[in-house]
Structure 1
Amino acid sequence: MTVPSQTEPDQAIAAGVDNEIFSANQRKPVGKVGLVVAALCILYTAFHIGVMNLYPLETWTYRLIHVGGGLAIGFLLFSSLTFNEVEGQNRRGRDLLILPGLGLIIIALVQVLLPWLGLGTGVDQAATLTAWRWTFGVPLMLGTVWVMLIGWFMPDARRAHLDLADIALALAAIAATLYIIYHAPFLRLRAGTALAKEADMWAALIGVVLILELTRRMAGMALVIIASIFVIYSFVGPWLPGILYHRGYSLTRFFTYIFTDQGILGPTTAISSTYIILFVAFAAFLQASRVGEYFVNFAFAAAGDRRGGPAKVAVFGSGLMGMINGTSAGNVVATGSLTIPLMKRVGYKPQTAAAVEAAASSGGQILPPIMGAGAFIMSEITGIAYSEIVIAAIIPALLYFASVYFNVDLAAQKYDMKGLPREELPKFSRLARQVFLFIPIFILIGALFMGYSVIRAGTLAMGAAAVVSWLTPYKMGVKEVLFALEISTKMTLQLVAVCAAAGIIVGVIALTGLGTRFSSLLLGLAENVQIVALFFAMVVSIILGMGMPTTAAYAVAASVIAPGLISMGIEPLTAHFFIFYFAVMSAITPPVALAAYAGAAIAQSDPMKTSVESFKMGMAAFIVPFMFFSSPELLMQGNALDIIHVVLGALLGVYLLSSAVQGWFFGNLNLVLRGLLVLAAIAMIDSGYLTDAIGVGTAVLVWAIQKRLVKPGAVAKGLD
């Protein structure tokens, strides 16, 4: 069978979508050094896939290798500074300043390696712990802090080289990880208790410092600040009032507890070391086989010539890509580099183009069946079957994307925007012959519904992506498979760091009992009124999610908020979906909207204006969770007629809301009519026939005024 090339002139519009994306602080090592780093990346992902499918490891060991290996590779690849495109120079004498810190870290690493090599004794067999303090703990701490400070204040600006300071931090991460792995059998018993050793504390403390530093480099300061506040809270509790009070903890007890399966090695790392890395690898295989390019070409062929065509392509294409991508901001960078310039070309303002891309990319996180790994994370946390979660997610995702589409279409009507010329777009007939490229996703869904485990289904889908590539010009051979494994690691590192940082927060909540007390406070403030409790939950979810990727935001918010909502009688599925939606939407919520900021950088628009615009584009997502709370039918709970009734009412509601946001409903709307449409949309939240009648009646009234069938003065007189 001959398959047309995706890069023929009429199908090259999405060329480059699947290219590797480099962040502003990511190094590009060349030569033999580059090959060594690539090999480390390949081994990292291959190790995880092998352990998950072939040779299971003990849980602590596996998760420690996941975190420690991610830290080491992360420091090698991601600098403490943002690079310019022009290759910088290293400062003379800088490496000499690093050597003392590197030497101290090597001393600590040697001390850790000796027991592994059978040439020394571990902490548990040592006659005295003093030696471990001065040959492991103190040198590791001093060396790490020293090289970290040099990295901050005297960064190596050579992008094609590895920084000696970052190599030292990678060695520090290896030393701390090897220590904890070797002593894990004993740490399970003594961590977080008075029996914990001083050396345990040093290893855990360095691990926490390194996690926060890599998180700063890869996800910014927001999560670092939040995690640091929680760490400080663990020590200042005795001096705090009310529900914030606790008796306080020693350094040894706190840090050894945090580095257990109650904290960093707990649910967040369990998720990142299984579901997240598996589905990022799946996305990498699709990227290496150019399936992402096909998705975007398919969207262009279907909608590119419609009014506002590129924006509608962004809604569909970015939604599909975001579903498998796992990070809203990362997806904006991948697809927005194509869609945003084209949206600007047909007349969208720069901030509107960026906002559409940000809203669509964020929506991919709530789009079944993958939901950016969200479905699997929710299943892990709640114990609810994956199939039940995916089915429940269908209608809310439909409403969200319908809302973004309505906003795009109404804006195109308002400003008379055209689509792209048909001759510049891929031919749908040719793309239809490549519909087999959707097979990996169909295999994933089918395997899951046939009862296969998530890991087995994901692995089968990954293999299917490689197989179907042989029916295209981009056949995946050994080289392409290795490339997919390499970029998988690079795409995973941010999530490894933020999930570990989120684990710090989860550990503090568990250690101090803050979650239980916060739930009690939530109940008290809401006075057992569920809708009030949900409003507070919305605010907390958005605040916790600011600056965090979806997975970390949801994991933290679920730990803090979900128990309180469930104790008020809200169904677990509804409570967790509610929290998940607002954790996702934090990526487009001002003032910290990572997805919107990423789009603004591409569109060269004002970041704050872009975040406000993206908030307006995705406004339905701030109403839909309240809709499925009041109408469980939106989560596929109920009989078919009730579900159809509620869906139709909800679709009308989001259309009216979109019309009010855009100021267009069969013509320009004044402020009064926009306000009426907002009230009509709110009336549609409740699925009752009376509220539906109010909403429909108000919409008909506005339509009649717009068509000049009724005069506003007559309406006002009638109200008297």
Structure 2
Amino acid sequence: MTHSNSKTIPSSETLDELTSPVVATAAVDDDPPAGNQRVFVGARHYVFATACAAYALFHLLVMNVYPLETWTYRLLHLGGGLGLGFLLYSAYGVEPDRQAEKQTPWSVTLLALAGAGTLYGAAAIAVIWGNWWLRGDAIPPSWTINSFGIPLTLGTVLAVLHGWIFGDRRIGHWTVADILLAVATVASIGYVIYFARALQMRAGMPMAQPGDMWAAITGVILILEGVRRMAGLALVIISAVFVAYAFAGPWLPGILNHSGYEPKRFFSYIFTDNGILSAPIAISSTYIVLFVIFAAFLQATHVGAYFVNVAFAAAGHKRGGPAKVAVFASGLMGMINGTSAGNVVSTGSLTIPLMKKVGYRSQTSAAVEAAASSGGQIMPPIMGAGAFIMAEITGIPYTEIIWAALIPAILYFASVLFMVDLMAQRFQMVGLPRSALPKLGDLLKQVYLFAPILVLVWALFLGYSVIRCGTLAMITAAVVSWLTPNRMGPRQFFHALDVGARMVLQLVAVCAAAGIIVGVIALTGIGTRFSALLLGIADQSQLLAMMFSMLVAVILGMGMPTTAAYAVAASVIAPGLINLGVEPLTAHFFIFYFAVMSAITPPVALAAYAGAALAQSDPMKTSVESFRIGLAAFVVPYMFFFSDALLMQGGWLDTIHVTVSALFGIYLLSSGIIGWFFGRIGWMLRALLIGGALGMLDAGLVTDLIGLSIGGGLFLFQRNVLKTADLAHGKD
């Protein structure tokens, strides 16, 4: 770790001049809009907010009051999320003062063709539904089935192209092309819902109909465009490669070879619960949307600001205080929202400027916040979406998963805390003056704001369903708000539903794209063949297989959000690891952990990039430094691989032993990386510490004694109890 010597380290007297109090406000709870996210005003705002609130309320009612048939519910979840996403997210970035551009003949022609195809297809499907609703005839007119598909698909493609070529960059307006995409979404999803029972029998089979194929092709195009707008191009490219692989199999060599599939069979198969409607969307439509709305309820009560203020009161005055606040606040915020970049933006807007004030460089400030915030996705009880998808894939109860995640999460945040504390010692970072910090005693009077989290955990361990637990926690948040100035009335309830729906749109698109990839893996059998390849590469060595799996998970995580990266990696890698004898819980946690760590792994480190934007630092240098700061955490998965007692899979004594051993090993590793162990140490002693720490990965008695001996000997050496001659010749 380097530090700019030209940077002036502020003295305590200088910081005492900080007169404005450091207090987190409600802005901490707000999610800033993405660069292409529209911000509506006036009538547009109320229309769109009402649609979002209705979308969120629909999920709560279905999950708690009026259940729907599974396919129908998932399809409504997907269609509503995509439709709202096209209206909220522009094809490209928006600008506040942008004026409407003059329409060219090419633009008008392209839009007219897109409208003609899309509206004809939508009208045909509307006739199908109307024929049933109005006449009670379940058999639609033949012309509707035979003629809607090609116009709908071509119209959708032209609407997408219009957005790419003639995108409207006004921040408060949706375009005609975006409305057409929303209409196409309703049409394609409407077809699949109408024929859902028949599709369950014929999808992916020779008896699949051309209409099934065209509706599915339209749906896939809409999903990929939605992902491009809401989550970036990388996941689109990966998904498109998998779709192409389904057709290119006969011409590919080795394990990639397969017989190939007809478009009708492939696309009808991909829009079933083996593909797009599989585990990722199943989780997105239940647990994810529930807990995202729960997070929105907590935002309405400003719990996030309270958590950040508690962190400042508890750690702000310590050496390197703002950096430690970033660690504590990100851990607390992670319990609410379970995101990386979101945590960076919310807590970093406060902690990054203060880290710079106490002497941290810009890139180091951003890197610390990014490394700390990435732990939000492994912090129980919400853990982003990872715990829910893991429970769905493995069949392991959700409560067991979050219980197993507790110690790895503690070790992660401990590793980052050790790094920032050692850095503060080495570079003499001071804390903030107590006079500028919130008073812990005053904050403890509002400790009831932790009640929603406590109710959630308590209900989970009483054995209630996850949906019931989330609902109870949501109700608790509303009740608790009446003890604060931010009482939740009808307006705040409406706002929470609106915000919750907007927050979930990206995850809907991401989970649908992950479902495409999962479907291709299942259809082509590449997952099984990849598992066989993994067995061959590892040559029956579990450790080598785990290292290979780490690389795959991190690389996937660079190209797509953590949720999708884990879902894909779990489908491809986890079966091979389990065949090698690795316990399913350990295998899945290992993969998920490294998918999360990709957020701070160069060259594509999304959390680090978010921090760099706040700190005005170089994104690539920030990502490299965030990787260094999080480096000690990279050994945690290997620790629970060698000893699953860290996942609460052993007895209490074993768990306590391996936890203490792991904490000591991580401290040694952090000291070696920073170059400070009760004083400055040179490269040889740093290498010795790192070697001792890596030896403690396997929590055995011998390796623990070696690590303790290295740490104890170096401590005595640093305290001048042992001399160099004593180390060389032995002490008499």
Residue 155 of structure 1: how far off its partner (Å): 1.2
What residue is the counterpart of 2:498 in the other structure? 486
Per the alignment, residue 50 of structure 1 pairs with 61
Q: In the alignment, does 2:602 pair up with 1:593? A: no
CA spacing shift, 1:65–1:692, aligned 2, 3 Å: same
Displacement of 1:642: 2.5
SS in 2 for 1:595: helix
Amino acid at match of 2:258: H
Is 1:103 equivalent to 2:116 in the alignment? Answer: yes
The one-letter amino acid of 1:333's match is V
**Contact conserved, 1:81 with 1:155, CA < 8 A, in 2?**
yes
Q: Does 1:84 align with 2:95?
A: yes
* 2:408 corresponding residue in structure 1: 396
Q: Name the residue aligned to 2:563.
A: 551
CA shift for structure 1 position 428: 0.7
Cα-to-partner distance string for 1:564-589 (whole Å, 9 max, x where unaligned): 11111111111111111111111111
**Partner Cα separation in structure 2 for residue 429 and residue 701 of structure 1:** 41
1:181: which partner in 2?
193
Q: Secondary structure at the match of 2:131?
A: coil
Stretch deviating more after TM superposition (630-639 or 271-280): 630-639
The aligned counterpart of 2:48 is 37
1:620-639 paired onto structure 2 within 5 Å? 620-639=632-651
Query: In the alignment, does 2:695 pair up with 1:698?
Result: no
Q: Deviations over 1:284-322 (max 9, x none)?
A: 000011111111111111111111111111111112212
TM-score (norm 1): 0.95
Is contact 1:24-1:83 (8 Å) kept? yes
Matches within 5 A, 1:506-521: 506-521=518-533
Write the distance in 2 (CA, Å) between the matches of 1:509 and 1:20: 35
Match of residue 407 from structure 1 = 419
Q: CA deviation at 1:172?
A: 1.0
Match of 1:546, SS state, is: helix
Paired residues for 1:488-567 under 5 Å: 488-567=500-579
1:200-226 Cα deviation digits (max 9, x unpaired): 111111111111111111111121111
Return the match for 1:685 from 689, 692, 697.
697
- Deviation track 1:239-293 (CA, whole Å, cap 9, x = no partner) reads 1111111100011111111110000000010010011000000100000111111
1:146 aligns with 2:191: no
| Counterpart amino acid of residue 308 in structure 2 | V
Letter in 2 for 1:479: R
Q: Which runs of 5+ in 2 are unaligned?
A: 1-19
Shift of 1:676: 1.2
Deviations 1:23-70 (CA, angstroms, capped at 9, x unpaired): 111001221121111111001110011100000000010000111111
Determine if the alignment matches structure 1 residue 427 to structure 2 residue 430: no
Out of 503-512 and 373-382, give the one that drifted further: 373-382
Cα distance, 1:638 vs. partner?
Answer: 2.5
Change (3 A) 1:338 1:89: farther
SS of 1:355's partner is helix
Partners of 1:12 and 1:679 lie apart in 2 by 42
Displacement of 1:324 in angstroms is: 2.3
Q: Distance in 1 between matches of 2:25 and 2:222?
A: 39
Tell me how far 1:96 sits from its aligned partner: 6.2
Q: Distance in 2 between matches of 1:133 and 1:122?
A: 21
Alignment of 1:258-657 (within 5 A): 258-657=270-669
Q: Is the 8 A contact 1:192 1:257 kept in 2?
A: yes
Unaligned runs of 5+ residues in structure 1 are: 1-8
CA contact (8 A) 1:192 1:255 kept: yes
In structure 2, what is the Cα distance between the partners aligned to 1:123 and 1:665? 79
**Alignment-derived partner of residue 206 in structure 1:** 218
Residue 314 of structure 1 aligns to a residue whose secondary structure is: helix
| Aligned equivalents of 2:108, 2:618: Cα separation in 1 | 39
Q: Distance in 1 between matches of 2:179 and 2:689?
A: 59
Match of 1:26 among 37, 46, 56: 37
1:520–1:564 contact (8 Å) kept in structure 2:
yes
Asked if the contact 2:160/2:177 (under 8 Å) is kept, the reply is: yes
Question: Residues 500-537 of structure 1: CA distance to partner in whole angstroms, max 9, x if unpaired?
Answer: 00000000000001111111111111111111111111
Where 2:39 maps in the other structure, the secondary structure is coil
**1:12 equivalent in structure 2:** 23
Q: 1:68 aligns with which of 79, 85, 96?
A: 79
Are 1:545 and 1:586, in contact at CA under 8 Å, matched by a contact in 2?
A: yes
Match 1:115 to one of 98, 119, 128: 128
**Larger displacement relative to structure 2 (504-513 or 86-95):** 86-95
Instruction: Assess if the C-alpha contact under 8 Å between 1:327 and 1:549 holds in 2.
Output: no
8 Å Cα contact 2:96/2:170 also seen in 1: no
Q: Is the 8 A contact 1:88 1:159 kept in 2?
A: no
Contact kept in structure 2, 1:291 and 1:437, CA below 8 Å: yes
Q: Residue 195 of structure 1: which of 198, 207, 213 is its match?
A: 207
Q: Distance in 1 between matches of 2:152 and 2:305?
A: 46
**Equivalenced residues, count:** 710
Amino acid at match of 1:695: G
CA distance in 1, matches of 2:115, 2:234: 29
> Shift of the alpha carbon at 1:179?
0.9
Q: Shift of the alpha carbon at 1:427?
A: 0.9
Q: Distance in 1 between matches of 2:187 and 2:724?
A: 75
1:572-621 alpha-carbon deviations (Å, 9 max, x no partner): 11111111111111111111111111111111111111111111222233
The code of the aligned residue for 1:473 comes to P
SS of residue paired to 1:118: helix
Deviations 1:97-136 (A, max 9, x none): 423312221111100000111179999946756x6454x1
Q: Is 1:675 matched up with 2:708? A: no
Contact 2:337–2:382 (Cα < 8 Å) also in 1 = no
What are the superposed Cα offsets for residues 63-106 of structure 1, whole Å, 9 maximum, x if unpaired? 00111111100000001111234334333344564233122211
2 CA distance for matches of 1:587 and 1:709? Answer: 43
* TM value normalised by structure 2: 0.94
Q: CA deviation at 1:238?
A: 0.6
Q: Contact 1:13/1:426 (CA < 8 Å) preserved in 2?
A: no
Identical columns (%)? 61
Q: Residue 252 of structure 1 is aligned with which of 246, 264, 272? A: 264
CA RMSD of aligned residues (A): 2.1
